[in-house]
Amino acid sequence: MPLIQHSDYKAPFFLKNRHLLTIYPTLFRKISNADYQRVRIPTADEDFLDLDFSYADSDRIVIILHGLEGSADRKYVLGMVHIFNNGGYDTVSLNFRGCSGEPNKNLRFYHSGETGDLAQVVEYLAATGRYRSIHIVGFSLGGNVTLKYLGEQGANIHPLIHSAVAFSVPCDLRTSSQELEKRHNSIYMQRFIRALGYKLELKAQRFPDMIRLDNYQDIRTFQQFDDRYTAPIHGFPDALTYWAASSSKPFLQKISVPTLLINALDDPFLSPECFPYEEAAQSRYFYLETPRYGGHVGFVTFGQQCYWSEKRAFAFISEHH
């Protein structure tokens, strides 16, 4: 029954606010860049993926997946790169399609339930013959992709994959999207819609007959965005169908390698349905940890080079490498 009853994360006393914990790292955390070496690999649909490797001359590697409209350069990704490199792991940060600084070639890009690209990265790493174990760390949208992929694979998971950790995961997309529509989350929603709109502008230049941006300024919610763009572009009839098919929660009980989900109880993005206690209680492999504080991909730690989330991921993966 891998339900972790007590989490040892302690938020700084003056940051015990879910929004401060969420925003602080983006605005104020100072962290050095990674020594990335970029590798571009082709995909089966004649597109490409940009992978940013950081080497520690190791036979074990951690795949790191960023969140919505993130990239390998986000501070939370860099923090993971540094702790795992220093601990003797290679890392590869997967930039989702269109997130590496260059638009991808095809009409489709990435979404919360798209696991094919992660599967291709796993196969690519295995084919190098360099690694004895592969581990995965995913954040938010990238965490949902991680959990869904592991559940989809089930007992047929690639034998090199030994463990995974996911943070701040909206594993029930419908209710999480509804949570983000609430007034206290308006600043985040506006930011996401604006960033997605910029990406669509680039897409529209390449596919002017397939992407219409008229009245885009009227879009205020993920349901409106996903109904108009994400769902039809990726083969779903509407947002509700896309969310139902892409949520990782229904796949959790099929996970067959040690996997830790850390969702803070004060995460402003997450609904009650995003805390899968029952699934963890009934699983041999799926662990759930719910710190009282942490915000969304926050877990701020002062006085130390690494945040608590990075130490927690490193400890869990090292235990199962």
Supply the pTM of this predicted model.
Answer: 0.97
To the nearest whole percent, how much of the chain has pLDDT over 70? 100
Residue whose token pair is 């400890």: 315
Answer whether residue 295 is part of any domain.
yes
Residue at 264 is within a domain? yes
For residues 199 and 183, give the distance between their C-alpha atoms in angstroms, rounded to a whole number.
25
Task: Please report whether residue 69 resides in a domain.
Answer: yes
**Count of domains observed in the chain:** 1
Tell me the pLDDT band of 1, cut-offs 50, 70 and 90. Answer: low
Domain CATH number, residue 129: 3.40.50.1820
Establish if 148 belongs to a structural domain: yes
Q: CB of 249 within 8 A of CB of 273? A: yes
- Full 3-state SS string of the chain: CCEECCCCCCCCHHHCCHHHHHHHHHHHCCCCCCCCEEEEEECCCCCEEEEEEECCCCCEEEEEECCCCCCCCCHHHHHHHHHHHHCCCEEEEEECCCCCCCCCCCCCCCCCCCCHHHHHHHHHHHHHCCCCEEEEEEECHHHHHHHHHHHHHHHHCCCCEEEEEEECCCCCHHHHHHHHCCHHHHHHHHHHHHHHHHHHHHHHHHCCCCCCCCCHHHCCCHHHHHHHHHHHHCCCCCHHHHHHHHCCHHHHHHCCCCEEEECCCCCCCCCHHHCCHHHHHCCCCEEEECCCCCCCCCCCCCCCCCCHHHHHHHHHHHHCC
Q: Which residue has the tokens 């990782």?
A: 248
Which residues participate in catalysis according to the annotation?
Answer: 140, 267, 296
- 13 pLDDT exceeds 80? yes
Query: Is there a domain that residue 209 lies in?
Result: no
Residues 6+ apart with CB under 8 A from 116: none
Banded pLDDT at 4 (limits 50, 70, 90): confident
Q: Does residue 186 lie in a domain region? A: no
pLDDT in tens, 39-58: 999 999 999 999 999 999 99
Average pLDDT (60-78) is 98
Q: Please check whether residue 163 lies inside any domain of the structure.
A: yes
Q: Is residue 38 part of a domain?
A: yes
**Which range of residues forms the domain containing residue 277?**
3-172+247-319
Give the pLDDT score at 153: 98
- pLDDT, tens only, 138-177: 999 999 999 999 999 999 999 999 999 999 999 999 999 9
